[in-house]
Structure 1
């Protein structure tokens, strides 16, 4: 039976490419985006079993409506990929960064994923092999963290902490939770110089497909474990 995979922020960039890769493998992909038209357009352009879902991760009502729609039409979610993220800025040094901007970074990179997970978790619990994949970053590794991009790095490190906490809470329910880093990728966020989007998406896809024997609460990039 095909897995039902919900990907947030999937109308472009890494999310869209991941949707295409998973659909090519035979999964049923729920391609969500803040804008319904953008989600529909992206879904139409991808071959396979891909369905658009309007889901604004900053809006609790939008998330609840999406969860209800998915429950009615599909009954469960096997994998939630929390892909939405952004606000990467090389000027985010900790001594000078505008803390208002830091709050914005945390909202999109941490709280958007947290509120979405809480709303979708009841549907994941209906799966025989539930899984949550939080799209993180190698910049979240405390052993690699530097002064630049401090707001982005701190928000992703907090996301990793959420991954570990969820993994611990849900382990007895056999729901697996991991963080996945796509590496520096040439998306609108990553900019020029990054590697092809297909490679970054493949790094996330590997985590989506990890066997249960790999355990839970891991942090991966390119099929390798990253240091926390």
Structure 2
């Protein structure tokens, strides 16, 4: 299969890319940082296309389509992994409205725009699937703007699943709990042995894409053994 991964240059996105590469899928990684994308491509043995872009830009999906046509890359699967986390107030009353708008743009609106633009291509794929990486922060009473954005993303994705059933496009939503990445600063609550490994999510995605065409995993939650840490 040919798979697009947003936010594919590091963290969970890169681990998804690793596992899909091992499984023999062709990859197109999208990210903001060209240097990180180049390093990711090298770590995958050079077996991936890379596209540098800001996911929140409305122009990005159209530019990506042009790039795919130039490289004869007909996507089967879209993995929406890119997300922003820049709210550390742990409050849903103190941040200004513009801060909420900013994180909703990054974590919800941009994904909406990607699906709206890329869906015609995905529908032409041999195994049309859209996988969305959510968060357990969107499943509970989380006092953060990030939690609000992930709850909104969940509602959107579940609606997308219902709307695309007749079209034969499978939609999957995965909620990871705390996951160790290179960006986390280790402390008592975020030590590597207290968190999921990025490869856990990558292995789940690879397994989901190995199912029969008539099988769709609709929603999946995976947490560390001792539960959430944030």
Q: TM-score, normalised by structure 2?
A: 0.84
Report 1:128-143 matches (<5 A). Answer: 128-141=126-139
- CA distance 1:93–1:49, change in 2 (3 Å): same
1:48, distance to aligned residue in structure 2 (A): 6.5
The 8 Å contact of residues 2 and 73 in structure 2, kept in 1 or not, is answered as: no
Matched, 1:175 2:169: yes
The partner residue of 1:148 within 100, 119, 143 is 143
| Residues 84, 109 of structure 1: 8 Å contact kept | yes
Question: Match for residue 226 of structure 2?
Answer: none
Shift of 1:203: 3.7
1:18 shift after superposition: 0.9
Q: How does 1:55-66 map to 2 (within 5 A)?
A: 55-66=53-64
Question: 2: CA distance between counterparts of 1:134 and 1:41?
Answer: 24
Q: Please, which runs of 5 or more residues in structure 1 have no aligned partner? A: 224-228
Which residue of 2 is the match for residue 23 of structure 1? 21
Indicate how the Cα distance of structure 1 residues 203 and 148 shifts in structure 2: closer, same or farther if over 3 A, else same.
farther
Q: 1:210 to 1:111 in 2, by over 3 A?
A: farther
For the Cα contact (< 8 Å) 1:20–1:47, is it kept in 2?
A: no
> Structure 1 CA distance, aligned partners of 2:206 and 2:151?
21
Taking the aligned partners of 2:120 and 2:214, their CA distance within structure 1 comes to: 24
Report matched runs for 1:93-132 at 5 Å: 93-132=91-130
* 1:219 and 2:219 matched: yes
Cα shift readout 1:39-66 (whole Å, capped 9, x = no counterpart)? 2331122137312122321112232111
SS at structure 1 position matched to 2:220: strand
Deviation, 1:110, is: 0.5
Within the candidate set 146, 159, 165, 2:159 is matched to: 165
Deviation of the 1:177 alpha carbon: 0.8
Distance 1:88 1:208 in 2: 31
1:12-70 residue CA offsets vs partner (Å, 9 max, x unmatched): 11111111110011000111112334323311221373121223211122321111211
Q: Provide the C-alpha distance between the structure 2 equivalents of 1:90 and 1:36, rounded to a whole number of angstroms.
A: 27
Q: How many residues align?
A: 216
Unpaired runs of 5+ residues, structure 2, are 224-230
**In structure 1, distance between residues paired with 2:89 and 2:73:** 44
Matching residue of 1:9: 7
Residue 156 to residue 204, structure 1, CA distance change in 2 (3 Å): farther
Instruction: Give the RMSD, CA atoms, in angstroms.
Output: 2.3
